[in-house]
Amino acid sequence: MKAREHQFVVCICNEENPASLELRKLYQVIPDGKAAKLHLLRIIDESGEDYLYPEGYFVPVKLPQAAGRAVLRAAQ
């Protein structure tokens, strides 16, 4: 069974949430099918909690597995 692949995005807009999102920062996406239908992403933001943000605030990035694991370890 394949391990769950984590999804990451880079913030490109934080006009309405400058305290919660940093421009050019990498964020982890939490899968949320209902939010996706509304064009929202569930992101672990600067508070360490997950919140919904417009998908237009982010650009998806594909990291090599080792880099993704390193990012997740650093966030703990």
Kindly report the pTM of this predicted structure: 0.84
Q: What percent of the chain has pLDDT over 90?
A: 61
- Specify if 14 maps to a domain: no
Cα 63 from Cα 58, distance rounded (Å): 15
Q: Please tell me the total count of domains within the chain.
A: 1
Tokens for 46, please give them. 């600067």
Q: Which residue did the predictor score with more confidence, 76 or 57?
A: 57
- Containing structural domain, residue 54: 19-75
Does any domain span residue 55? yes
Tens-digit pLDDT profile for residues 8-18:
999 999 988 88
Residue 2 lies in a domain: no
Question: Smallest Cα–Cα separation from 27: which of 39, 38, 40, 41?
Answer: 41
65 or 43: which leads in pLDDT: 43
